[in-house]
Every structure is written in C-alpha cells, then in structure tokens.
Structure 1
Amino acid sequence: MKIKFLILKLTREKYINRWIIFFIDLFFSVSSTITSLALISYILDRDYSNHTIFKVFLISSICSIVCFFICKTYKGVIRHSAFTETGRIAMASSLKVAIILPIFSLMTEAFSFRCFLLGSVIDFFLTFFILTIFRAFLITVYTFMVSSITSRKDKLLIFGHEKSSPALLNDSFLRENSAYQVEGILRFGPRVSMRMAAYNVFFVSNQAEFNRLVNHYNVKAILFTDYKVVKEESERLVRFCEKKKIRMLILPSIDELQGGKMQLRTLPEVRIEDLLGRDEICINMTEIANSLKGKVVLVTGAAGSIGSELCRQLCHFSLKQLVLFDSAETPMHNIRLELEEKFPDVEFTPVMGDIRMIHRVESIYQRFRPQIVFHAAAYKHVPLMEENPCEAVHTNVYGTRNVADMAVKYAVDKFIMISTDKAVNPTNVMGASKRLAEMYVQSLSIAISKGKHSGKTRFITTRFGNVLGSNGSVIPRFREQLAKGGPLTVTHPEIIRYFMTIPEACRLVLEAAFMGKGNEIFVFDMGTPVKIADLAYRMIELAGLVPG
C-alpha cells in the first residue's frame, strides 16, 4: 500500500527538480570521460598516474558544467522529451569534447595525438548514449508506473487527420490531462500493421469491424481531434458510434483551453451542433480585430445568447472598454462572472437597464461615449409575441428607436442592428416588429447620408435565421424533452429550417460591422436547409436512444 502511494505521489509530480537532473547528467558525463581514459589505457597499453586521472576528472567536470549550462539539457521535462532533445544532448557532448581537447593539449603532455583522437571519439559516444538512455529509462519507468495506476480508466481511441493526430501522440499528454486511457489510433481503410508514436493504429471499414474492435479492447469513447473531422465523418464513424452506444468526444481547441473554457479532464461530447450539414464559414478575424482595437463598444442584450457570445468574441480584440447593457439580472450576473474569470485583463462594465427607457439609454451613451454599438436586445419568441403584440412593438420598435437616436446624438461611428430572416415579408408579429425596426434604422441612415438629418453614424443591419443552441431555439427544447424521456415534438415532418451556430453567427455580425459602409442589410448565407424531423432523429441517436 505504501509503495502504491509512493508511485501515485511520484506520478502526480509535475517534474523532477532540474538541479537533480543537472547533477545526474554531470555524474554520467564525468564517468564517461573517466571510462574513456580507462579504455584508452587498455587499448594502447598505457598507465596513467593518479595525478593525471584527477586532472582529467577536474577538467571534464568543468567542461561538462559549462556545456550543460550553454545547451540547457537539464531544463527539459524528461517525460515530454522528443527526438529534438537528443539533438541537444549531441550538441552538449560535442561541445564538451571540443573544449576538452585544447585544454588537455595545453595542460598535460601525457597524451599523444592518437590518445586525443581515440579518447574524444569514445568520450562523445559514451556521453551521448548514456544521457539518452538515462532519459529513455526514466520515460519507460514513468509510463509503466502511470499505466499501472490508470489501467482502470475507460479506454479511448483517437480519430483525426494524419496532420492533427501527431500533436496528441506525446505519450503523456492525454494520459495526464484526461479521465481516459488512450488505447490507440483509429483509421478507415484496409487493415495494416503499424504504430504511431507509442500507440497501435487500428483500421476499420464497416460497422462489423468497428464493433469487433471496441468489444475486443473494451473501448468506451472515440476522441475526434477537431470539429471539422466530426462533420466529415457524421455519416460514417458517428453512425457507428451511435449504433454501438460509444461516447463521442471532441478535443477542445487551443483558444478554448487558453481561454479557460475547457478542462481536458472533462472532454466535451459531440453535440448536434457539430453535425451541422456544412462547413462553418471562415472569416479573417485579424482585420476585424484591427478595426475594433482601442474602441469603446456597447452591446445591448448582452446577457442573451447572441449578445453574450458577441461579448466573448469582442474580449479578444483589445478594446478600450466593453459595455454590457441588459435588463435580465441573473443572466447578466452570470456573463459578468464568466468574463471576469476568462478575460481578467479586459475592461468591461455590466450595466442594468431597459432599452425602452429613453433616459436610461441616454445616460449610458453620455457616460461611456461608445464608438460602436451592437444592438442585440429584442423580444424574439414568435408565439409569445403573437399573444403580446404591444410588448413586441414596445421593445423591438420603440426600444430600437431609442438606441438608434441616442447613437446619432452621441456621434457613434457604427450601429449594427441584429435582425432576423422573419422580417422578410413578415407573417407574424415578431417578424413585423423587427421589420419596422429595420425600416426606422434604414430611414435614419438614409436621412443622415443625404444631409436631411445631422449626424455621422453609419447604420448596418444583419439578418440570419435559426441559431443552434440559442435561447428559445429548437435544440434546447429537444434536449429538455430528451431529459424527460421524450417524446420529441415536431410541428410537421416536412418543416425545414436554416441553421448556424452561435459563434458563427456572431463572427458574421462582426464581419458585417467591419465591411459595412452604412445603409446595408447583410443577409447571411445559411447553407443547406435541415429537416427538423431529421434533427430530432439525430439527437435521439446521439443520446444513445432508438427513434420511434
């Protein structure tokens, strides 16, 4: 029990003290030089005095210390050592021999040129191989100890592109940071015997081969290396996993890890959003970042699903100040805590208030003097607005007018209104109220451009359809119904909708803000429409259940 506790303690240590490694390397290096001297003595049949041996010991110690400090061989975390580390060791060994040779020639006459040459070759190879083998031994022992402790973890297979997988193949990366034990790499194609790094590569071609593989190794999860891989394999590997009830996980992006959004120990599962039937639209965020750098930005509806994601993305752009404006207390408190944790260096101010209150809106413009405004505040639930049309008009029309008028009065550079595709030939109160808001903003923009109204604000309107996972969208509703055991309700089996993810929608809003010159309405390309019934079926399968 004590031995197991000691092993557990050792494996939890982040690294061995670098000075311990330094002195071990020094011991091996000096021992290599003394061993070289002994071999020379034996090969050339020469005897060396104790004084000469001591001199060799002293010179080797000094030269080794100098070389290790120059090459910094002792600073690397050994369990993360890669092939490049052997190059550093080879450099240190070569430098040591190169320094020792002229010193010996100056300080002693006991060695001939033949001794120098033979001794330097033996010393180099001994030092290089012993230091390399020492590191390989430590890695092997560490791997064995960790494997003996983590053998109870659930087994996992990694699936990804050949270019993306090697980043994961550092033998200790996932082992230390995940609740899973990596069993190997998964590929599609005819069976070939091969390995990548420390892992076996398994090949499957169909459902039956996949089932045999996961049964044989008791695999509980598949790890996709990125979102693109999930979309490409949504009709093959995802289906295999759904039928076999295998968990599907996605490796967080570097941005998510650095932003503190994700811990590797709780790898996120594949969501229905990841199976969106098209590639996400790629946008050059560098130009957008340059246009927003050093600006004061106001976001209305900042606590909502779109507004909060806008705030998250804006926090990456080195703003002078970000102002969050919303009337929902608890969501505002939540987004405040999130931004404080993830972006401690960003200056942002949460402000409670209602866009329908003109004096409150003006006080915010007067206090913060925003240069760019993203207007996301709105009532958007169609059935509720049908039942409460006065509130739809009051918020979506009069509220927008208040925010727009104050933007003109306080010389805002750009005003980006977030609208909806339901404003196109509206058939419901919500869509009609948003279209009225669009018309007001456009009229104000045209009046300013023609000189009929004083001001410099450029108004830009953006329209998009259903956003996956946003408040009130079909996905959260289906998730709630699944949690209750079903059924999932669909209005009509043939209904289709266009979808995009929340982060994608917000990136497109930022792109419109950058591109817009004023008076435009940007209509986003939503891709291929998706049947709501098909979406429901996929969600049921992802939950490990059987439709029908």
Structure 2
Amino acid sequence: IGSELCRQLATFGIRRLVLFDNAETPMHNIRLELEEKYPDLEFVPVIGDVRLTARLDYAFRTYRPQIVFHAAAYKHVPLMEENPCEAVLVNVVGTRNVADHCMRYGIEKMVMISTDKAVNPTNIMGASKRLAEIYVQSFGQAIAAGQIAGGTKFVTTRFGNVLGSNGSVIPRFREQIEKGGPVTVTHPDIVRFFMTIPEACRLVMEAATMSGGNEIFVFDMGESIRIADLARRMIELAGLKEGEDIKIEYTGLRPGEKLYEEVLSNSENTLPTPHDKIRIAQVREYDYHEACRVVSRLEELSREVNVPDTVRLMKQIVPEYKSQNSKFCSFDGQAAETTAIAADITA
C-alpha cells in the first residue's frame, strides 16, 4: 500500500516525496523505480522506524511535509496473535508517535491506513488498529474543539484485503501451484473481501481529498470471495485440475482468524458521502486525554513484555474485541488487573 501510494502521488505534480521505511531493500527498489519513471521529482529516502521518536523528529523537522500518509503497521493476524506486545508498539504507539509529530510540526493532514479487522476485532492485529484509530480520531477531535492548539486534520481509511500485497493469498497460492501443491486453505467456507492495490490507494486519496477531518472512511469492497473457489480458479488458470494435478488441503482456522470479515459499508453503521464507494463509519468516540493515558500504559506493559495485562487492557478499552480461536479467549470478560486507567474511559 505504501509503495502504491508513492507511485500515485508521484503523478500529482508534487514537489518532494519523502519515503520513510525501516525495510532497506524495498526502499531501495521503490526509489530506483520512481527515479527512473519521474526524473524531475525529488525523492528523499529515509530509513527509520515509527517506534523511534528521534528518527521521526529528524524527518519531520528536516523535510517539513505538508501531508503525511501513515501506512506503517504489522498486519499478519496469526503472527501478531503470537506477538501482541510488538503489535501494540508498532500499530498503536507508532501511530501515536506519527500523529504527535504531525501536530508538533503543523502538518496539514495525516491520512492513516486502517483495516476491516478493526471492526468488532477478533484478534490482536485488529484490536491494535482499532486502538490506533481511537487515538488519532480523539486527537483530531480535541484539536477541533480547541482543547489542544493545532490545525492538523486526521483522516482514517478502512478497507479489506488487497490482491497481491505482501503475504497475501494469491502470491502464496501461485507459489504452491508452481511447486506442485498442495494449495493450503484454512477452511472450506472462509470468505474474504478483496480489491486491487491501485483501487484501494485511489480511494484512500479520494477520501483524503473530501475529508474535513476526524472521519473514519470505509470502502465498499464489493462481493466477498470464497477462498477455496479462488484456489480452484488459480489451479484452472495454471492449466491443471484440482484433485488430479493439484490438491487443496484444509488446514484449520488460524489463531484470531474468523470465517467472515465484517461488511464495512452498510446503511446501519455508516453515513453516505458524495462518492458511491466511500462512506463514513459511525463509531464510539473517546476522550483524547484518557486515550493518551491508555496508550502510555499499553506502551509500558508492552515494553515490559507483559502479555496478559497488555491484552486485558486492550479488551477493556475496546469492549467489542472478543478473541476467536485464540489463547486469549480466556481473557474475554475479565477486568484488567494492572491499571485503573481504563475505568475512566467514557464512551
């Protein structure tokens, strides 16, 4: 998503594009690609990490961006279920760090990339992205209400799976087919919503353009796709027959995974916009100062690698977060034992 946003932004006649990433090789590759295609545009590659505030501060004070697109995140559901403290440090604390620097340096607009998994989350990854949304939206609302001096507008965009992204099913299925199978699907009935990376990024930028600030935009993802049907179609397109040349093997739902993702844009939970594929989510609002204290406490617990209390606090702040097929199911309904901060949060 970050790379495609850069590709599309490069066509808009902008003066400078600053790329901030902790992955060296992808940064090198996207820089070569963009410099070849757009020789008149100034590209600035900055190796950094949203967890490192000194490096963020360097980038902001040196280059003074006008608009920030924040796509940095840990996104793989089973992996984050095994590493919840790292999910919090990147997805929640990292987002806070970026948002705070946007306000400090007078950035005009911050656009955050979220996920459909933040809606009624069943896993650590989705809950961490919902917490990031809470911080960003409450921050923007506090600025708009005059509680905090500043003019930055914060925009969040939610969408589902994108075709061909790192670690997604299509590259995985292609690799398995090339090796002769089996093609692994977690469950015969599992379905997902998909859109292409360029389409998702176009909608991100359209939402950012129409935003007045502090909205969470959700995208119409179209019809859901049965993953087993996708696997069969890819086998057919490779000129092979399922069951004869290539087998489909069902491996069982992974920790935190559910059969059906939430429908993002229905009339019950969203409001319309002038764009037929973009709606505004109606969500519970949180007080900014309480959100600050919760994020700080989550950071402390995560740096201590106190997994039980980190997850308990996440569940208390996001009451709709109910674990599924996870070792954290036992924490549902429990009160956090480590802090009274969450009790002060009011919806």
Q: TM-score, normalised by structure 1?
A: 0.44
Aligned to 1:490: 185
Of residues 187, 192, 203 in structure 2, which corresponds to 1:508? Answer: 203
From 532, 539, 546, the counterpart of 2:227: 532
Aligned counterparts, 1:48-447, within 5 A: 306-447=1-142
Residue 423 of structure 1 aligns to which amino acid in structure 2? A
The alpha carbon displacement at 1:340 in A equals 1.3
Cα shift readout 1:57-87 (whole Å, capped 9, x = no counterpart): xxxxxxxxxxxxxxxxxxxxxxxxxxxxxxx
Q: Deviations over 1:85-138 (max 9, x none)?
A: xxxxxxxxxxxxxxxxxxxxxxxxxxxxxxxxxxxxxxxxxxxxxxxxxxxxxx
More helix by share: 1
1:462 aligned onto 2:165: no
User: Which protein, 1 or 2, shows the higher relative CO under an 8 Å CA cutoff with sep ≥ 6?
Assistant: 2
Deviations 1:513-544 (A, max 9, x none): 10111010000000011110110011111111
Deviation at 1:332, TM superposition (A): 0.6
Give the superposition deviation at 1:441.
0.2
Query: Distance in 2 between the 1:544 and 1:323 partners?
Result: 44
Post-superposition offset of 1:494: 1.1
Q: Give per-residue Cα distances to partners, 1:328-379, cap 9 Å, x unaligned.
A: 0011111111111111111111110000001110111100111100000000
Counterpart secondary structure, 1:427: coil
**Counterpart in the other structure of 1:259:** none
Deviation at 1:547, TM superposition (A): 1.4
Deviation at 1:412, TM superposition (A): 0.6
Measured in 2, the distance between the counterparts of 1:469 and 1:478 equals: 11
Distance 1:483 1:447 in 2: 53
**What's the CA shift for 1:394?**
0.3
Q: Pick from 123, 144, 147 the counterpart of residue 449 of structure 1.
A: 144
Distance 2:122 2:14 in 1: 39
Write the letter of the residue equivalent to 2:13: S
What is aligned with 1:519?
A: 214
Q: Normalising by structure 2, what TM-score?
A: 0.69
Distance 1:517 1:354 in 2: 29
| Alpha-carbon displacement from aligned partner over 1:416-466 (angstroms, at most 9, x marks no partner) | 000000001111000011010000001100100000011100000000001
Stretches of structure 2 that go unaligned for 5 or more consecutive residues are 244-347
Question: In the aligned structure 2, how far is the partner of 1:483 from the partner of 1:391?
Answer: 34
Q: Does 1:545 pair with 2:213?
A: no
Q: Which 5+ residue runs of structure 1 have no aligned equivalent?
A: 1-305
What do the CA deviations read for 1:362-411 (whole angstroms, capped 9, x no partner)?
A: 11110011110000000000111011111000000010000000000101
Q: Partner letter of residue 417 of structure 1?
A: M
AA at the equivalent of 2:18? V
Q: Give the secondary-structure state (helix, strand or coil) at the position aligned to 1:480.
A: helix
Deviation at 1:502, TM superposition (A): 0.5
- Specify the code of the residue in structure 2 equivalent to 1:397: V
Alignment of 1:481 onto 2:176: yes
Q: How many angstroms does 1:479 deviate by?
A: 1.1
AA aligned opposite 1:375: H
Q: Could you give the per-residue CA deviations for residues 142-166 of structure 1, whole angstroms, max 9, x where no partner exists?
A: xxxxxxxxxxxxxxxxxxxxxxxxx
| 2:33 counterpart letter in structure 1 | E
Take 2:107 and 2:147, find their aligned partners in 1: how far apart are those partners? 18
CA distance in structure 2 between the aligned counterparts of 1:514 and 1:346, rounded to whole angstroms: 22
SS state at 1:489 partner:
strand
Taking the aligned partners of 1:483 and 1:343, their CA distance within structure 2 comes to 35
Instruction: Give the partner amino acid of 1:426.
Output: P
User: In the alignment, is residue 472 of structure 1 matched against residue 170 of structure 2?
Assistant: no
| Bigger-Rg structure (1/2) | 1
Cross-structure match for 2:270? none
What is the DSSP-based 3-state SS (H/G/I as helix, E as strand, rest coil) of the residue aligned with 2:20? strand
Once superposed, which parts of structure 1, at least 4 consecutive aligned residues long, lie more than 4 Å away? Answer: none
Which amino acid in the other structure matches residue 317 of structure 1?
Answer: F
Q: Using the alignment, how far apart are the partners of 2:202 and 2:120 within structure 1?
A: 26
> When the two structures are aligned, how many residues end up with a matched partner?
243
Q: Aligned AA for 2:169?
A: V
> What is the alpha-carbon root mean square deviation over aligned residues?
0.7
